[in-house]
Amino acid sequence: MGADIFLLYISHWGEFALRWLHVITAIAWVGSSFYFIALDLGLRQAPQLPKKAPKKIQGEAWQVHGGGFYHIQKYLVAPPNLPEDLTWFKWESYATWLSGFALMVLVYYGGAELYLIDAEKMALPIWGAVAISLASLGGVWVLYHWLCRVLMARPMLLMLVLYALLVALSWGFYQVFSGRGAFLHLGAVTATIMSANVFFVIIPNQKITVAELKAGRTPDARYGQIAKLRSTHNNYLVLPVLFLMLSGHYPLAFATEYSWLMASLVFLMGVSIRHYFNARHASQGNPLWLWLITLVLFLVIMGLSLLPTIDRGDNLAEAEFEDVSDIIAGRCSMCHATEPYWEGIAVAPKNVVLETPSQIARYAKEIYLQSAVSDAMPPANITYMEPEERALLRAWFESGGADE
């Protein structure tokens, strides 16, 4: 085995291991976050507590799981004395962000020409694209942190301002990066906000509370209130982040004309889903109307993904297979070949080879979704597939040419 092949194997399995680590740590973080939000909302409040409960108890809950019963109590600010076996929940967040950032460096910085830069939008050098990426991660957090401090007393206004910021970021990233890169960065800056909330606000405030207890003083309640606000933000942001991170597998999500608007609506959809569960945990009934809102938002997103195709009105009644074969040979075969000759690609992506009529027919649906109704392929349009060529591919598939 040659050195190049060996490095290819190492790179392939390294990316797989890193992606797996990211998923594992994300599950741990999201799971603990969802659990504690549900626990907090489901606590029996002070008026409902038994008379024997300590005065500083804000609420309590009885839960059953795995064959055992659990009695959980939450203190209004902190217990009178610091427990010796206090458990902290922070490493899940840190490990998720670090593994996600490492994965972004490996895939999007290392493969910037394919996955991050779109020369038709902005002809950035690799270092320029990476600089914008890094600046956005830090800059958005600084702006978010400042907004939270200024508008903390008006949480609803803060949420509206933050949503407007996310919409602006969605549009801005779409103007600078490829569709895939734009979605990834919208998810990345949101995840950075969430993890930075834990690292810079929630954990430090909890440490202040611990230090006050050790010193024999009563901690200030405002530290807990600030931490709870940031935790609530994390709770409502997590589902959109998951959607954005998974969207890279679905070209109709990230690679159409209105993808930036679709991403903006995903945040509303995430809020409606999370609010349904939060309302259930808080014993506020069964607000099924939130699922109706979610469904409507999802249908609007689907409609936006189809709108460019409807608007084009190509009027291409027939497309010969020879035309389709020529387009694929000129725009796709350098990667999707038995022996790819594009630099840095040793094996056809996903083992999709498009060299013979039967192979093209076999992958006709994927060609249609990736290159006809979206511009996901070629990645970042690196081989400059023309709009007229995409229209021919679309007409060929929609007229049933792939079935002949």
- Residue pair 169/261 in contact by the 8 Å Cβ criterion: no
Shared-domain flag, residues 225 and 353:
no
Average pLDDT of every residue of the chain: 89
Q: How many domains is the chain partitioned into structurally?
A: 3
Shared-domain flag, residues 117 and 151:
yes
| Three state DSSP letters for 222-278 | HHHHHHHHHHHHHHHHHHHHHHHHHHHHCHHHHCCCCHHHHHHHHHHHHHHHHHHHH
pLDDT of residue 82: 81
87: phi then psi, degrees, rounded to nearest 5 = -100, 130
Strands of the sheet with 44-45, listed across from one edge = 44-45, 57-65, 68-75
Using alpha carbons, select from 22, 32, 202, 207 the residue that is nearest to residue 103.
22
- Residue pair 241/267 in contact by the 8 Å Cβ criterion: no
Q: How confident is the model at residue 270 (pLDDT cuts 50, 70, 90)?
A: very high
State how beta strands 57-65 and 44-45 pair. antiparallel
Handedness of CA 256, 259, 265, 267 (dihedral sign): positive
Q: Is residue 282 part of a domain?
A: no
187/193 Cα distance (integer angstroms): 10
pLDDT digits (tens, 9 = 90+) for 90-99: 999 999 999 9
Shared-domain flag, residues 102 and 154:
yes
Shared-domain flag, residues 168 and 58:
no
Shared-domain flag, residues 221 and 149:
yes
pLDDT digits (tens, 9 = 90+) for 355-377: 998 999 899 999 999 999 999 99
pLDDT of residue 313: 52
Shared-domain flag, residues 49 and 189:
no
pLDDT of residue 135: 97
pLDDT of residue 219: 84
Residue 157 pLDDT greater than 60, yes or no:
yes
Name the residue type at position 318. E
- Residue pair 98/22 in contact by the 8 Å Cβ criterion: no
State pTM to two decimals.
0.90
* Percent helix / strand / coil, the chain, rounded to 5: 70, 5, 25
**DSSP code per residue over 40-98:** HHTPEEGGGS-TTS-TTEEEEEEEEETTEEEEEEEESS--SS--TTPPP--HHHHHHHH
Tell me the percentage of the chain whose pLDDT exceeds 90.
Answer: 59
Tokens found for residue 324: 């389709």
Locate tokens 């060529």: which residue?
389
Shared-domain flag, residues 58 and 182:
no
Handedness of CA 24, 25, 30, 35 (dihedral sign): positive
Kind and range of the H or E run holding 214: helix 203-214
Q: Is residue 220 part of a domain?
A: yes
Of the residues 248, 280, 300, the one at which a domain ends: 248
DSSP state of 283: T
Shared-domain flag, residues 58 and 105:
no
Residues 10-18, mean pLDDT to the nearest whole number = 87
Range name among 3-7, 54-58, 149-153, 252-256 with the lowest pLDDT average: 54-58
Shared-domain flag, residues 127 and 108:
yes
Residue 48 pLDDT greater than 70, yes or no:
no
Determine how many CB atoms are found less than 10 A away from the CB of residue 152. Answer: 14
16/286 Cα distance (integer angstroms): 40
Shared-domain flag, residues 121 and 162:
yes
Determine how many CB atoms are found less than 10 A away from the CB of residue 157. Answer: 11
Residue 318 pLDDT greater than 90, yes or no:
no
Shared-domain flag, residues 69 and 179:
no
Residues 162-171, mean pLDDT to the nearest whole number = 97
Q: How confident is the model at residue 1 (pLDDT cuts 50, 70, 90)?
A: low
Locate tokens 């949480």: which residue?
155
Q: How confident is the model at residue 402 (pLDDT cuts 50, 70, 90)?
A: low
pLDDT of residue 132: 97
pLDDT digits (tens, 9 = 90+) for 214-225: 888 888 888 988
Q: Is residue 303 part of a domain?
A: no
Shared-domain flag, residues 32 and 152:
yes
Residue range of the domain that includes 63: 44-75
Residue 205 pLDDT greater than 80, yes or no:
yes
Q: Is residue 100 part of a domain?
A: yes
Residues 267-279, mean pLDDT to the nearest whole number = 95
Q: Is residue 278 part of a domain?
A: no
